[in-house]
Structure 1
């Protein structure tokens, strides 16, 4: 039945209904034919019994007297009657089994043994129209006044009964075929109509391309039946999923803006300090234009300040470029991340430990944008958790074909709400951490894994990413 499983339900149920109709028609036809056979058997037995009993009454005295001519005359008159037309042959024998007379003397001569006719003969109670032969043979005792005085052998023509049975079978087959065909077609369309909500539901669930759509109100059955409730429940689930996705999108957007706000404020502070120095240098040049050594030192200070501003601006642009996934990850991306979090490190007087293996990063074919976003968000949270005068550490290396990022910080353990955002896919609760759900979504998209531990006052978040996103996708 494996071939039957892939068939759609809208085809499978009508086929099952048609099969049941055929089975019911077959059983009904068998019962009709069996009843017809029983009626025919009863008719032929009754006719044979009347024939034998009538001959017994008429032939009993003649057989005892061995009046052969009278026996023959009686048989001849009996064969001319209405019932006798079915009797193809009738022969009468005495007690010794010797033929006294027969309706066909040429075939059954006088004084021949009746046993020659008894080879295929059956008793009266066993007489049945079995369809094997159009002629039935009957052998019955000839009884007169309670005494068996001879035997009667009779052959009955049942060709008309067999023809009647064949016609009944033909009519049943044609009638059942027509009725089954009409009912099957009607049942097919009726069941297809009843299963239309299921078909619509399956189409909505399989052809949405990742975004579920509700079933139109016009396609929902009327009333409060099971299919109507199923369609309404599905629409409710779709609404809940869409609402959840929208809430997560707004929350992720809010977290992104929070992270950008914190980063922007730190960068503004980082840019403002060099600007003050640059303005002082320009004032010095204006004040001492005639002192070349002062002008040279001020120009060097201006050059260093402008280069620092250029690096900060470039790192910020790379972090927020429109197509962040178009460029492969390089060691310079980690230098940009270090530069971006430096204001936060300075503001909180944190001790930063930075360990990046350039060779490991160069071997990766990961997109720069997602990796930068993951590292920056985790580092911002680590800085916030470490607090004033804490310690933050980043390690980047390759292990077993994966790029491993380890972000560690001292301070309190990560709250449960933040852990839920970072490690689980369930609904988002108030609280948590900046960008943690975004981090999890990015890691999942890259086919990676994330783990968390807190021991001896140190929190460690480890991210493992396949060094080639294309190969990871092929393995899946």
Structure 2
């Protein structure tokens, strides 16, 4: 049954049509054979009745006189006249059933019981060519002038009728087989041609590895039939999906540019402040070169500023570098995040609450790159949502080999468009936070999930990521 269910529709339908034709052919053949049997039975009954009636007229007076020799002579002349015909044996008995004469006296002796004739004789109305044997046995009353004066038993050769029936059966089987074969091939070709658009549609939907392709115009059926409308509707759906995918790609690209612009703006602010102090220090050294204490103090300022610029540059490079080794998360990654987000916090004068309870474990790890991107995107959105002088919270903890990240802000609750991006997998609608869909995809890619809650005028986004056993991480 499984193999039949997996069979293409273009093969199952012709097979079904062939099976129906076989059934119809079998029923029709049965009806033909029944009709032939009825005709043969009528013919043999008519012939037997004529034979019995003829003998009754000729033998009636002889049987009444019990004239055995005349009865035999009459039967012998009748047998010679019908030589090569159906009547292979005829016997005549008196009223008591005792045989007076027979065409084969050695087989049916005189004065024997006619009921002992082999072949189980039947009456005329029950005579039938049933195929049980090539010889039929008949027993009928010998009626003369309305009076039953004896009995007539006859054996009829019906081998030619059986041969005719077998020949008819053979011709029916051959004819049905040829007709079914021709009609099956024609039906297969016709149905396959009719179902070709469905086959093409199935191939376009299943053999494109999740990326549907439109049906070529040359393969779309002509006219306005159901299959033609189906093919055109499918092409319209493919075009709509492609347009939506392109719109989502452009939207995601725009979001990346927005996030990059925000991060660049924050970094520029973070770098511009130390540069002003560095320029003042160099100006002090140039103007007060004869004062060692001023030069030493300015040199210290230069060193601290340059170290700060080096740290900001390193963290930025680490965050955007493609890490081929899939480095495991460490506590330093969260310190880098704090350094990256600090310019945005300072620019909007936010109150940042930072709590990281992350102890590196030898037996469980998680990839650093995706976690850093998740946290940075949520922090940037929280800073924007809080507004100037708002509050932003960042909390990281480990619970039973599960990494939990909480990001809170005191701004208004997230709009529905942003929630759809963060919590759903449907098409992106205009609006919503930057990078929220990326947060969801990264979290689910790590086997985790994202939750949202609004309590006490505070929005909380929670990301739960299971830690991976170190051996399994190495295999991956």
TM-score range, shorter chain: over 0.9
Residue of structure 2 equivalent to 1:438: 438
Aligned to 2:76: 76
Q: Which residue of 1 aligns with 2:101?
A: 101
* CA deviation vs aligned residue, 1:199-227 (integer Å, no higher than 9, x gap): 21121111112211111111111122222
Map of 1:406 onto structure 2: 406
Distance 2:318 2:264 in 1: 14
- In structure 1, what is the equivalent of residue 353 of structure 2? 353
What's 2:366 paired with? 366
Q: Relative to 1, partners in 2 of residues 1:127 and 1:470: Cα closer, same or farther, differing over 3 Å?
A: farther
Comparing 291-300 with 146-155, greater Cα deviation is found at: 291-300
Alpha carbons 1:446, 1:469 under 8 Å: kept? no
Distance 1:150 1:209 in 2: 93
TM-aligned CA deviation for residue 307 of structure 1: 1.1
Match in the other structure for 2:461: 461
Sort the Cα spacing of 1:59 and 1:181 in 2 relative to 1 into closer, same or farther, 3 A.
Answer: same
Task: Give CA deviations for 1:17-70 in whole Å, capped at 9, x if unaligned.
Answer: 222222222222222212111111111111111111221222222211212222
CA distance in 2, matches of 1:120, 1:349: 121
TM-fit CA distance, 1:322: 4.6
Q: What is the CA distance between 1:363 and its match in structure 2?
A: 6.0
Shift in alpha-carbon separation, 1:471–1:408, aligned structure 2, 3 A: farther
TM superposition shift of 1:471: 9.8
The answer to whether the aligner puts 1:274 opposite 2:274 as a matched pair is: yes
In structure 2, the partner of 1:37 is 37
Q: Deviations over 1:387-436 (max 9, x none)?
A: 22222111222334432211111222111221122112223333211222
Matched, 1:7 2:7: yes
Q: Secondary structure at 1:195's aligned position in 2?
A: helix
Contact kept, 8 Å, 2:358 with 2:398, in 1: the verdict is no
Give, in angstroms, the shift of residue 382 of structure 1: 0.9
**CA-to-aligned-CA distance 1:153-184 (integer Å, 9 cap, x gap):** 11110111111111111122222222222222
Tell me, yes or no, if the aligned pair for 2:363 and 2:470 is still in contact at 8 Å.
Answer: no
State whether residues 45 and 127 of structure 2, in contact with CA within 8 Å, keep that contact through their aligned partners in structure 1. Answer: yes
Could you tell me which runs of 5 or more consecutive residues in structure 1 were left unpaired when the two chains were aligned: none
**How many Å separate the matches in 1 of 2:275 and 2:364?**
38
Shift of 1:381: 1.1
Native 8 Å contact 2:49 2:124 kept in 1: yes
- The Cα offsets for residues 356-400 of structure 1, whole Å up to 9 and x where unpaired, read as 233258765433332222111111111112222222111222334
| C-alpha distance in 1 between matches for 2:249 and 2:133 | 86
Range with bigger deviation, 12-21 or 256-265: 12-21
Q: Hey, what's the Cα distance between the residues in 2 that align with 1:418 and 1:325?
A: 33
Counterpart CA distance in 2 for 1:242 and 1:470 is: 40
Aligned pairs (5 A) from 1:231-246: 231-246=231-246
* Within-5 A mapping of 1:167-186: 167-186=167-186
Question: Residues of 1 paired with 2:320 and 2:285: CA distance?
Answer: 37
Q: In the TM superposition, what are the counterparts of 1:217-232 in structure 2 within 5 Å?
A: 217-232=217-232
**Cα RMSD, aligned residues only:** 2.2
Contact 1:139 1:151 in 2 (8 A): yes
Distance 1:364 1:90, change over 3 A: same
- Matches of 1:86 and 1:379 in 2, distance apart? 110
Q: Distance in 2 between matches of 1:135 and 1:401?
A: 95
Matched residue count: 473
Match of 1:130? 130
State the distance in 1 between where 2:446 and 2:227 align.
40
Alignment of 1:44-443 (within 5 A): 44-82=44-82, 85-117=85-117, 120-322=120-322, 326-359=326-359, 365-443=365-443
- Aligned 8 A contact 2:288 2:295 in 1: yes
Could you tell me the TM-score, scaled by structure 2's length?
Answer: 0.93
**Alignment check: 8 A CA contact 2:364 2:469 kept:** no
Contact 1:136 1:158 (8 Å CA) reproduced = yes
Give distance in 2, aligned partners of 1:400 and 1:81. 114
Asked if structure 2 preserves the Cα contact closer than 8 Å seen for 1:354 and 1:395, the reply is yes
> How many Å separate the matches in 1 of 2:361 and 2:234?
46
CA deviation map 1:222-277 (0-9, x unaligned): 12222222221211111111111111111111111111112211211111000000
Looking at structure 2, the residues matched to 277 and 417 of structure 1 have their Cα atoms a distance apart, in angstroms, of 43
Q: 1:188 Cα shift?
A: 2.1
Q: 8 Å contact 2:363–2:469 — kept in the other structure?
A: no
The 1-side partners of 2:94 and 2:241 are apart by 100
Residue pair 1:331, 1:358 contacting (<8 A) in 2 also: yes
Residues 119 and 136 of structure 2 are in contact (CA less than 8 Å); yes or no, is this contact kept in structure 1? no
